[in-house]
């Protein structure tokens, strides 16, 4: 991939997309094509066709998607299914029509069966029922993955798919209701520590296991795969390590100096019991994660991107990290 190659990063203001832009720029790729959703609605077939005809990107990273946590996925089921189907269908088809040299499509680990054997190998896809609360989003992402495979087989397109585990880091969504578990706990616990709240509510039993990858590591893996992988089969991207939600909450409490009580609301859904990715295929391609979980959480706490009482929270978190 030449340093002057024109690269379109769809979803460049999202957590994954912005990290990929940073990584590309660090590696010397500066001919990047970027559009906000207001400038280019990827659900609009005609608009996407016009964009590709005008810009003619040589490479595409499809990181644009409608995403959210358990509540959002289960509440806006039609939106998650429709929007994601339209985004990926329009972008993939125009990439084919205009002869894009290579496209990287971001899938998700949530597309695997709810009760898949652990750790999850790429070939376990479509071998069992999905997690019900997440089904519409998962079906849409599976459709995108299968589209990439079909374009590869029928048209010879170099479309590759990566399946990241749970992400965290700069640019995450810290909304109190619609965020993922890591972002929700980081905000809740750090604010509780700063404001002296006696309790923090944690959704679910705390027993499910989750794997977490810093988004900067994902971006590095994506660049590695753009440069070194051309296969049709999807590639898991993760750390190969996990912990329970309880352990995650306790780790954040420790790093923020929170001394209050963690209260588990068992009326809230747990989601999939465990979804640890098998990353041996990625390791065999020469890539390993670099940012360990505690280090990554420290970086997020130092940044304190959430807005409610942000200054007070940040000051307390930094003082705790310094001890």
Taking every pair of C-alpha atoms in the chain, what is the biggest distance, in angstroms?
Answer: 60
Is 108 labelled as part of a ligand binding site? yes
Is 12 labelled as part of a ligand binding site? yes
pLDDT-derived band at 175, boundaries 50, 70, 90: confident
Is 106 labelled as part of a ligand binding site? yes
Q: Please state whether beta strands 199-203 and 166-168 pair in parallel, antiparallel, or not at all (unpaired).
A: unpaired
What is the residue-wise DSSP string for 290-316? Answer: ---HHHHHHHHHHH----TTHHHHHHH
The better pLDDT of the pair 165, 305 is held by: 165
pLDDT-derived band at 313, boundaries 50, 70, 90: very low
Give dist(CA 158, CA 154) in Å, integer: 11
Give dist(CA 34, CA 21) in Å, integer: 9
Is 107 labelled as part of a ligand binding site? yes
Is 223 labelled as part of a ligand binding site? no
Q: pLDDT tens for residues 126-138?
A: 999 998 888 999 9
Q: What predicted TM-score, i.e. pTM, was given to this entire model?
A: 0.91
Q: Decide if 137 is catalytic.
A: yes
Q: pLDDT tens for residues 247-295?
A: 999 999 999 999 999 999 999 888 788 999 999 999 999 999 999 999 9
Q: pLDDT tens for residues 207-234?
A: 999 999 999 999 999 999 999 999 999 9
Spot the catalytic one: 8, 137, 174, 229.
137
Is 289 labelled as part of a ligand binding site? no
Is 236 labelled as part of a ligand binding site? no
Domains within the chain, CATH numbers bracketed: 7-168+211-237 (3.40.50.720), 181-209+242-273+292-322 (3.90.25.10)
Give dist(CA 304, CA 315) in Å, integer: 9
Burial 247-281 (b: 16+ CB within 10 A, else e): ebbbbbbebbbbeeebebeeeebbbbebbbbbbeb
Task: Say whether pLDDT at 74 is over 80.
Answer: no
DSSP 120: B
Is 270 labelled as part of a ligand binding site? yes
Backbone angles phi, psi at 97, to 5 degrees: -60, -40
């Amino acid at each position: 991939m030449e340093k002057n190659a024109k690269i379109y990063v769809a979803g460049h203001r999202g957590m994954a997309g912005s990290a990929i832009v940073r990584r590309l720029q660090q590696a010397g790729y500066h001919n990047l094509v970027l559009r906000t959703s207001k400038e280019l609605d990827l659900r609009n077939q005609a608009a996407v066709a016009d964009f590709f005809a005008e810009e003619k990107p040589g490479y595409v990273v499809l990181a644009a998607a409608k995403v959210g946590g358990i509540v959002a996925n289960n509440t806006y089921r039609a939106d998650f299914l429709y929007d994601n189907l339209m985004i990926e269908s329009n972008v993939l088809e125009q990439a084919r029509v205009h002869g894009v040299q290579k496209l990287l499509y971001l899938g998700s680990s949530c597309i695997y069966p709810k009760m898949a054997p652990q750790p999850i190998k790429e070939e376990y896809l479509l071998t069992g029922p999905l997690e019900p609360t997440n089904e519409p989003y998962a079906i849409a992402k599976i459709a995108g993955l299968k589209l990439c495979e079909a374009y590869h087989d029928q048209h010879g397109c170099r479309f590759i798919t990566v399946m990241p585990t749970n992400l965290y880091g700069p640019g995450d969504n810290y909304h109190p209701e619609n965020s993922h578990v890591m972002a929700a706990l980081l905000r809740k616990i750090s604010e509780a520590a700063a404001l002296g709240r006696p309790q923090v509510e944690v959704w679910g039993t705390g027993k499910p296991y989750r794997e977490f990858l810093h988004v900067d590591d994902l971006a590095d893996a994506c660049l590695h795969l753009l440069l070194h992988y051309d296969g049709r089969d999807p590639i898991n991207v993760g750390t190969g390590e996990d912990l329970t939600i309880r352990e995650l909450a306790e780790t954040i409490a420790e790093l923020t100096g929170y001394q209050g009580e963690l209260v588990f609301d068992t009326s809230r859904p747990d989601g999939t019991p465990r979804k640890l990715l098998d990353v041996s295929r990625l390791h065999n391609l020469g890539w390993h994660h670099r940012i360990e979980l505690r280090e990554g959480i420290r970086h997020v706490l130092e940044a304190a991107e959430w807005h409610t009482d942000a200054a007070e929270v940040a000051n307390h978190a930094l003082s705790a990290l310094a001890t």
